[in-house]
Structure 1
Amino acid sequence: MTPVKDRLREKSAPLSCYLNLIPSAVATQAIAAAGADIVIIDQEHGPIGPESVHAMVAATAGTSCSPWVRVPLAQADHVKTALDAGAEGIVFPLVRTAQDAAECVALTRYPPKGKRGWGPFVAHARWGTPLFEHLAHRGDSTVCCLLMETVAAVENAEAICKVEGIDCMVIAPFDLSTELGVSGRMDAPQLREAVQHLEKTVLAAGIPLGGAAMTREQSLAMRARGYTLMAHHFDVLVLGQFVRESRSWLAGP
């Protein structure tokens, strides 16, 4: 199976991504088995502890779905726990500067390229590699994904894009719109301007670009603009949406 990092680089086809906030291996398995390219296990906004992370990562085995973890902070303990549970990618929130970006890259790379601690005692089993061959086989496969969701990130976008080792950058409009004072207003001029600047800068740097595409129309439009990764929805929101919709069936014709 082609590592997801290579699929991102090739940009030959868009990749589908879903956010998993429900702390359940069953939910993750359902998403992975349904054909998702990537599932992001969300420790930043979801009530998901380390034991659940391991079970959820393990639940993607036997599928082509790549398990990523959005950590709450760009700190070694969060990143190391997720990677040593078998995560193939780390999503870093609230990146603001090139220095932040360089730290994120270092946390996902083994020395001498970075400062990730060695200890894949659990991860090697997820990927089917002998323990002491895990670094050689999987050490360069970890995805470093940055969320561009702060005003500072918009202002420092050119410098951030020059940092070596970034595998993907995702424009996250919810936090960004909130920082801009237009929370949730996806059509606000200042948000549109910020997103357009980020799109232009990231694509010009040749870095795979991702974003929120929660409808078919958004997905097609973003693909046409050069996006590689489409974050389609949140599991908890899809569940609630279906319940609300199905309750309407009881109202009759």
Structure 2
Amino acid sequence: MPLQLNPTFAYELSQAQRPLYGGWVSSGSAVAAEIMAGSGLDMLLIDMEHAPNGLDSVLAQLHAASGYPTSVMVRVPAGDPVIIKQVLDLGVQNLLVPMVSTAEQAAQIAAMVQYPPRGIRGVGSALARSGRWNRVPNYVQEAAEHVCVFVQIETQEGLANTAEIAAVEGIDGVLLGPSDLAASMGLLGQQTHPDVVSAVKSAFAQIDAAGKPAGVNAFDPSAAHDYAAAGARWILVGADVVLMARGSEKLAADFIDQPTTPAAELPSGT
């Protein structure tokens, strides 16, 4: 029976009447991915750049999230054609490529996602989950409709080239990374510094002018709301590992760091 793939995240953004909110899955855990997928967030981003993820664990997380309506994106570790080919063949429909600083880089990445003659993606869908082993009619011919690619601007060079990067054909949107951007600006660890926030908002306007959706990473709630008001179309507002770290710390603070009434002493000899 012919199968139909889900709409891409780019399509979801084009239909949305409000900013879409997502969370990182950085643990490498399929269980965590399923918990996050069932949370009600609009999208998840599985990370291969800064998380302990390889092809097998990404595939397991795709399976875990597949029973939920949440869109799933994968950030690859680099704009490498082999890695991108392998990840797409896993069935990833929404791709994020980090550290893109020029329009030339963006154009090369756009080509990695498309089959010839538009691009350089290797053809192997008959053997792969991407086209569900030839169960998706015309997957090869219509692959451009089934896959979208976003790039991440994280340097001062990238900021200077924002308009040109956003205008590249085949790039569906841009995500701003304030943490690396702050480091590039000499403000390491100060991603909410006014200069960083101002630079991110300036990039939003340029991305919007190119007709593309701008996104941003913002774990601080006040920063997230501020960016939404400034025109961000999608915002990553948390991560599985951060939620677990802060939640477990609160448990420790509530039950260990705070004085409590001593338990009754047990009878001797028990």
TM-score > 0.5 by shorter chain? yes
- Given the alignment, which residue of 103, 123, 147 partners 2:130? 123
1:205 alignment partner AA = A
Distance 1:182 1:14 in 2: 28
Q: Any idea what the Cα deviations from partners look like across 1:123-171, whole Å, max 9, x if unmatched?
A: 233xx97156333555422121111101110111122122112111111
Distance 2:190 2:22 in 1: 23
Aligned with 1:134: secondary structure? coil
Aligned with 2:253: secondary structure? helix
Bigger mean CA deviation after superposition, 34-43 or 148-157: 34-43
Bigger mean CA deviation after superposition, 104-113 or 79-88: 104-113
Cα shift at 1:194 = 2.1
1:194 alignment partner AA = A
The answer for the alignment partner of 2:246 in structure 1 is 241
2:10 alignment partner AA = K
Bigger mean CA deviation after superposition, 159-168 or 72-81: 159-168
Structure 1 unaligned regions, length at least 5 = none
- Given the alignment, which residue of 80, 85, 88 partners 1:83? 88
Cα shift at 1:104 = 1.2
Does residue 54 of structure 1 match 2:64? no
Task: Confirm or deny: 8 A CA contact 1:107 1:116 kept in the other structure.
Answer: yes
The answer for the alignment partner of 1:106 in structure 2 is 111
Q: Any idea what the Cα deviations from partners look like across 1:68-118, whole Å, max 9, x if unmatched?
A: 111111011111111111111111111010000111111112222222112
Distance 2:49 2:248 in 1: 25
Cα shift at 1:51 = 0.7
Aligned with 1:8: secondary structure? helix
The answer for the alignment partner of 2:170 in structure 1 is 165
Task: Confirm or deny: 8 A CA contact 1:69 1:91 kept in the other structure.
Answer: yes
Aligned with 2:99: secondary structure? coil
The answer for the alignment partner of 1:4 in structure 2 is 9
Bigger mean CA deviation after superposition, 186-195 or 200-209: 186-195
The answer for the alignment partner of 1:211 in structure 2 is 216
1:92 alignment partner AA = V
Structure 2 unaligned regions, length at least 5 = 1-5, 261-270
Aligned with 2:151: secondary structure? strand
Task: Give % identity.
Answer: 28
Task: Confirm or deny: 8 A CA contact 1:66 1:88 kept in the other structure.
Answer: no
